[in-house]
Amino acid sequence: MRAVFKNLKKWKHRAEEATRLTHYLGHSVFTNTILGRFPPPRKAREMGPSIWVALKHWWDCEEKDRQNIENGLYLAPEEIVPRPKEFLWKSIKSFVDLWDVKKRIEDRDVSLMDSFTEKVGFPKYYTQSFHFQTDGYLSFHSSELYDHQVETVFMGSADTMRRLALAPIVRHLQTKKAGSAAKILDVACGTGKFTRELCRNFPSAKVTAMDLSPWYLKKARKLSPQATFLQGNAETIPGKANRFDVVTCVFLYHELPPLARENVSRQVLRTLKPGGIYVHVDSLQKGDVGELDGSLELFPDLFHEPFYKGYVESPLESQLQELGFEIVETELAFYSKITVAQKCL
């Protein structure tokens, strides 16, 4: 009877994953049709993987997540299939916004620098329209649409790719027996989707999250009121050295120029306790999965990602090692790479 129940749970999970895929894949087709990218242009067909190759890697990623949940490594998500009313509303808002996005793509207009952003003191590289999204990261409107837009790009797997980063944290805290008093910092938390998972899975830990965008932080605070939030640049993490057991960073580095990436890594090294780990999630890099390399070439052409090409061509592991980290493990999941690095004792 227990085996039957286990199989039912497995197939229920898979059915929910398939439903989520259908939701976001359909949204992606409609979005790309409006942008004139469906059917895909010749360059995309020649360089990018077939839909079957992409689906294989998507499936492998989802299966890793399901097995981790089944094995009790971390909690199942609160929802897999998006709520119909919320999905419909976000879809409508995204489609309305697409006309402005389309114009920016055609005009190659990505500048957001103005007197307001200069007064606030954002670094210049931050004051542009990443992905061609309206307002970049500098409005509440942007924060409302961001997660829906990212899930559309990654066929509904963005949350899954984030969630896989929980596994090395669980293993580290169990080994170090620091779970009850662990201090965790989530760098560049954005809308707080991963911060929420940290709070859910490590309720006894002291979770701190920081982001440069006050609008995105406002949304993150609503998701995890129990966490401590800081508004600031990850290149200058405030506070004393050697105080966090774990530092996480999800989908930040590919949007930073090289010197900023190095500055963030140095700050993470400074703030980690000796023996603490840095769990980093970002895009695959060249050579990680050969049959997906073409997509890495296409991505900055399809979306405004000014620093992406430089990131995917610069192996992260060697950069972290040069700064003094020891690489513990790496895991590839669809279009993401999870890198776990430790501060030497």
Residue 36: per-residue pLDDT: 85
Residue 5: per-residue pLDDT: 61
Residues 6+ apart with CB under 8 A from 272: 242, 244, 245, 247, 278, 343
Question: Residue 78, class by beta-carbon neighbours within 10 Å (0-12 exposed, 13-18 middle, 19+ buried)?
Answer: exposed
Q: How far apart are CA 137 and CA 135, in angstroms?
A: 6
| Per-residue pLDDT reduced to its tens digit, 289-307 | 999 999 999 998 889 999 9
Residue 120: per-residue pLDDT: 72
Query: What are the structure tokens assigned to 267, written together?
Result: 């700050």
Residue 201: per-residue pLDDT: 96
Q: Which domain holds residue 216?
A: 1-345
Residue 179: per-residue pLDDT: 47
pTM (whole model) above 0.75: yes
Neighbours of 59 (CB within 10 A): 16
Eight-state DSSP code of residue 131: G
| Residue numbers of the chain with a pLDDT score lower than 50 | 178-179
Query: What are the structure tokens assigned to 143, written together?
Result: 């924060």
Per the structure, the count of domains in the chain is 1
CATH number for the domain spanning 29: value is 3.40.50.150
